[in-house]
Amino acid sequence: MIKSDVIVIGAGFAGLMAAAVSAKCGKKVTLITYGSGTFPLNSGLIDIMARPIDETVCATPLDGIKALPEAHPYTKIGTDIVEAAVAFFMELCEQENYPYSGSLTKHQWVVTALGTMKPTCLVPKTMLGDICLKNKEIVLIGFNRLKDHYIHVMKENLEQSLGKEKNYTSIMVDADIESGRDLSTLDIARWLNTPQGYESCLKQLRGSVQANSVVILPQVLGVKPDYAILDKMKKDLQCEVLESTGLPPAANGLRLQSMLLGYLKKNNVTMVENAKVIGSTVNNQTCLSITTQNAAREQTYQADHFILATGGFYGGGLQMETFPIIKEPIFNIPVRVKGNPEEWANEKLFSSQKQPFAEVGIETDEKMRPLDEVGNCFIKNVFVAGRNLSGYDFCFEQSGNGVALVSAYQAAMSF
Partner 1 sequence: MEKATVVVIGGGATGVGILRDLAMRGVDVLLLEKLDMVNGTSSRYHGLLHSGARYAVKDQEAARECIEENSILRKIGKSCVEATEGLFIRLPEDDVDFEGKWVDGCKKSGITAIPITPQEAWQLEPNLSHQIIAAYRVPDAAIDGFRMAWQNIDSAARYGGRVKTYTEVIRIVSENGKVIGLDVRNYFTKQTYFIACDFVVNAAGPWSGQIAALAGLDVNVQPDKGTLIAFNQRISSRIVNRLHVPSDGDIFVPHGSITILGTTSMSVKDPEDTSSSFHEIESLLQIGEKTFENLRKYRVLRAFAGSRPLYSASGGKGRGASRGFVILDHSEDGLDGFMTITGGKFTTYRLMAEKMTDIVCQKLQVTTPCRTAEEALVPEVTEAVKTKARKYFPAYGTELAADRLGADRFKRVVERLEKNPEERQLICECENVTLAEIEEVITEGTSFTLSDIRRKTRMGMGTCQGNFCSLRSVGILSRTENIDQKQQSLQQLQEFLQARWKGIRPVLWGNALRETEMARGIYGVGLNVNGGSPK
Binding site for partner 1 (CB under 8 A): 38, 41-43, 47, 55, 57, 107, 109, 112-114, 116-119, 130, 133, 144-145, 147-150, 152-153, 156-157, 160-163, 182, 245-248, 250, 312-314, 320-324, 341-342, 344-345, 347-350, 355, 357-358, 394-396, 398, 400
CA-wise closest residue to 405 among 30, 45, 58, 5: 45
Nearer to partner 1, 245 or 289 (CB): 245
Q: What are phi and psi of 19, to 5 degrees?
A: -65, -40
Nearer to partner 1, 102 or 312 (CB): 312
Minimum distance of partner 1 from residue 195's CB (angstroms) = 26
Helices (H), 57-183: 61-66, 73-77, 79-95, 131-134, 151-161
3-state secondary structure of 61: helix
Nearer to partner 1, 41 or 223 (CB): 41
Minimum distance of partner 1 from residue 356's CB (angstroms) = 10
Task: Quote the crossing angle between the two packed helices 195-205 and 185-192, to the nearest 10°.
Answer: 100
Nearer to partner 1, 95 or 160 (CB): 160
Minimum distance of partner 1 from residue 384's CB (angstroms) = 18
Minimum distance of partner 1 from residue 329's CB (angstroms) = 14
CA distance 309 to 123: 23
Minimum distance of partner 1 from residue 172's CB (angstroms) = 11
Tell whether the torsion through CA atoms of 11, 15, 17 and 19 is positive or negative: negative
Nearer to partner 1, 144 or 194 (CB): 144
Nearer to partner 1, 83 or 159 (CB): 159
Q: How far is CA 124 from CA 64, 204, 281, in A?
A: 22, 26, 41
Task: Assess contact for 51 and 292: CB atoms under 8 A.
Answer: no
Minimum distance of partner 1 from residue 21's CB (angstroms) = 24
